[in-house]
Amino acid sequence: VGVHAQNDSVMMANLYRKALTDGKCYQALDYLSNKIGGRLSGSPQSYQAIHWAEKTMKEFGFDSVWLQPCMVPHWVRGAKEKGIAIIYKTNKNLEIPKKLETHICALGGSVATPKGGIMAPVVMVDSIQDLQKLGRKAIEGKIVFFNRRMDEAQINTFDAYGRAVDQRWAGPSEAARYGAVATICRSMEVGISKHPHTGSMRYIDSLPKIPCAAISTYDAEELGKYIKEGMGVSFEIEMHCQTLADTLSYSVVGELKGTEHPEEIILVGGHLDAWDNGDGAHDDGAGVVQSMEVLRLFKASGIKPKRTLRAVLFMNEENGLRGGKKYAELAKENHEKHICAIETDAGGHTPRGFGLTSDSAKYQKLLSWAPLFKPYHIYEFEPHGGGADIGPLKEQGVPLMAYMPDSQRYFDYHHTEIDKFENVNKRELEMGSATMAIFVWLLSAHGWE
Ligand SMILES: [Zn+2]
């Protein structure tokens, strides 16, 4: 162990101790979740969050704090959605139907139903490919019910999410292609609950825009069972959502200037917007307060970084990515040199490690630091990783990193009404800040060379 490594491990231990004994991120998350709450871009809460973040970073004493303007979509949910399943003995025998109130919520960006709602027979499919097999005759005039589960056998639940989410994202337009009048999509959840999970979707402009909702995994199981038993199922759906005109919003940036290489920027960030149904405590309140905390830990410990550190709280990750796109555009215009961008947008759970998308020399460098992380039980260093907000920096050759907490419980909360402060653990949240801070320490001290 060289003198370097000894100094590094001492600095890392100090930062980690500070995070666990004198942390500020939990209290910040309390405010963001409980005083502001859900904050979709364009909402009044999103502006409260912008002002709060700016003020908080100034109070932390960062060298500079500024707002970065961007135009954002403005979608509103409106009155609570209604989803009633009507179960008949069979498709032919329509006597004495059973009615079930289900737990649904509109997908972000969805159009409303006509006033009074839509009622139509349900056709259940496993995938977008199934639509083609069934053809227009089986689908026209119906409500398509996408019911493919997230694969419980995947150890990283983000992998399972990636393999299931096309039903939500592309399903509505693909169903409309065959004449469907609406879609309901099984929620992106590994387990079974009565919480519907919202999320974004995208219409194809040349196809009819049909209303689309997520249905809880509990209700999806019920409907699936009735359909498999040969019973007739219709669905009545009513939604009041609306897309308003694009509006001006902001990402919030805070900076500690580097002492030796101020032109070399290390970015740590998450997204400030969050879905409207919960408080966005995990997604991505955790990432917001952790990003600010990384810089605060340096400042409060009296450490002046050699390279410039930036906390970036991006606006509009959930339904447009406008903040991330704008940030990359300006970075290019201003010839900024980011030596690394780290995104924390995977929840406030126990840290596991990092993923890095870059060249093999940088990955080898990261691996060479792995022993320094061992005391903190950080063992995972994957050769790929990044994040939605920092993704647009990729074409400028910026090394992209994902901070990776444990993923097992993330999709219990993701995009639901239970993504709330009480479901984030203080210590786990603080360990996340600390883990990023010690990586940022290493990179700010040594660079990638
Ligand atoms: Zn997120």
Q: How confident is the model over 210-246, as pLDDT tens digits?
A: 999 999 999 999 999 999 999 999 999 999 999 999 9
CA 299 / ligand 1 centre spacing (Å): 27
Average pLDDT, the chain: 97
CA 271 / ligand 1 centre spacing (Å): 6
d(CA 138, CA 229): 19
Closest CA to 1 of 369, 387, 380, 341: 369
d(CA 38, CA 83): 23
Tracing tokens 């069934």 back to the chain, one arrives at: 134
User: Is pLDDT above 60 for 1?
Assistant: no
Catalytic residues: 317
CA 388 / ligand 1 centre spacing (Å): 8
Kindly state the tokens that stand for 9: 């491990």
Q: Residue 229, Cβ neighbours under 10 Å: how many?
A: 9
Q: For residue 299, give the amino acid letter.
A: K
**pTM value?**
0.96
CA 331 / ligand 1 centre spacing (Å): 22
pLDDT band at 2 (very low <50, low <70, confident <90, very high): low
CA 274 / ligand 1 centre spacing (Å): 7
pLDDT tens by residue, 87-104: 998 877 778 889 999 999
CA 345 / ligand 1 centre spacing (Å): 5
Tracing tokens 């219709």 back to the chain, one arrives at: 234
Kindly state the tokens that stand for 210: 């049909």
